[in-house]
């Protein structure tokens, strides 16, 4: 896609402010670096709500820019970072800003992670479940969704897919409709642990062992071995060096929609200026129209 096409796409995504680096992120080429994403400006969240006593147990709420009364789709956003304490929620602030600009309330969850924040399996996933169960508290800010879209990037995609599989258990008898969107999601943690890139090598730290040592824990933590009845969309960059394309193929089931983004790497999905972000928005619109 040429520069003019990218500019026009951005103008459609952010009507009236395509040149504004806060509301309408300037278009960039595919496959940006992590540092390109963390350098982006963002809007502050409106509310911070704790769902537990630990400093990492909280969610940040971005309300839609033009409408704080939401009765449409709520996005629950789960950040990645190899499940490691070194990578926190802040690198998803531009993504949350852009999604809210499109009319979605965004409940962006922080959680304990491997390392100094005391996470790991199953602690990190326990936190995600607690954060999701805190949804009723968002009603105080006008957020009463008709449906929920779980979005997780990389290791956050792993946690989002697990949450989709446990959705009915988290809301027995009164669960709102849910869909899941995995952005370069880790779908098979057993296979992922066998790899040799730095994020793959962090998997045993998260799980406490390799699969051959504690296969039961890996089975419990493996989306590929879970029954997910909710609709799932997997978005994968063609050139992703961190989450291999094999992960894109591992999750089975008739409800899985797969989209391979040409030329994209790993961080395109969290950079609102990329062609991949336009693809994400298109997929979200196909799932449901925001309020």
Tens digit of each residue's pLDDT (9 = 90 or more) over 254-289: 679 999 999 999 999 999 999 999 999 999 999 975
- What pLDDT score does 21 carry? 44
- What pLDDT score does 66 carry? 63
- What pLDDT score does 234 carry? 98
Condensed to tens digits (0 to 9), the pLDDT of residues 175-210 reads 899 999 999 999 999 999 999 999 999 999 999 999
Of 239, 234, 230, 248, residue with least CA distance to 267: 239
User: Helix, strand or coil for residue 38?
Assistant: helix
Q: Which domains does the chain show, CATH number per domain?
A: 3-287 (3.40.50.1820)
- What pLDDT score does 46 carry? 96
What is the chain's Cα-based Rg? 18
- What pLDDT score does 145 carry? 86
pTM for the model stands at 0.91
Residues in the chain predicted with pLDDT less than 70, given as ranges, are 1-23, 66-71, 254, 289-291
Sign of CA dihedral 50, 56, 236, 10: positive
Condensed to tens digits (0 to 9), the pLDDT of residues 3-16 reads 333 333 333 443 33
């Amino acid at each position: 896609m040429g520069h003019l096409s990218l500019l026009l796409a951005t103008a459609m995504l952010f009507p009236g402010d395509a040149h504004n680096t806060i509301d309408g992120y300037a278009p960039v080429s595919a496959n940006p670096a992590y540092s390109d994403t963390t350098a982006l400006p963002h809007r502050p969240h409106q509310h911070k709500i704790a769902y537990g006593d630990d400093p990492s147990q909280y969610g940040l709420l971005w309300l839609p820019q033009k409408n704080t009364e939401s009765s449409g789709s709520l996005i629950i956003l789960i950040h990645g970072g190899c499940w490691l304490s070194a990578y926190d929620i802040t690198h998803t602030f531009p993504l949350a800003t852009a999604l809210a600009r499109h009319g979605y309330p965004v409940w962006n969850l922080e959680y304990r992670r491997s390392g100094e924040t005391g996470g790991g399996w199953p602690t990190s996933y326990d936190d995600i479940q607690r954060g999701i169960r805190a949804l009723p508290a968002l009603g105080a800010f006008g957020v009463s969704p008709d449906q929920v879209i779980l979005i997780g990037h990389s290791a956050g995609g792993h946690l989002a897919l697990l949450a989709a599989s446990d959705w009915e258990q988290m809301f027995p008898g009164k669960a709102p409709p849910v869909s899941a969107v995995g952005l370069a999601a880790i779908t098979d943690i057993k296979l992922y642990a066998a790899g040799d890139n730095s994020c793959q090598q962090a998997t045993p730290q998260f799980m406490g062992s390799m699969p051959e040592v504690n296969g039961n824990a890996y089975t419990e933590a493996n989306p590929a071995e879970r029954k997910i009845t909710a609709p799932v969309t997997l978005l994968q960059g063609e050139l992703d060096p961190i989450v291999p394309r094999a992960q894109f193929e591992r999750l089975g089931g008739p409800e899985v929609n797969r989209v391979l983004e040409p030329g994209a790497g790993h961080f395109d999905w969290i950079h609102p200026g990329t062609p991949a972000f336009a693809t994400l928005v298109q997929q979200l619109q196909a799932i449901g129209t925001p309020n």
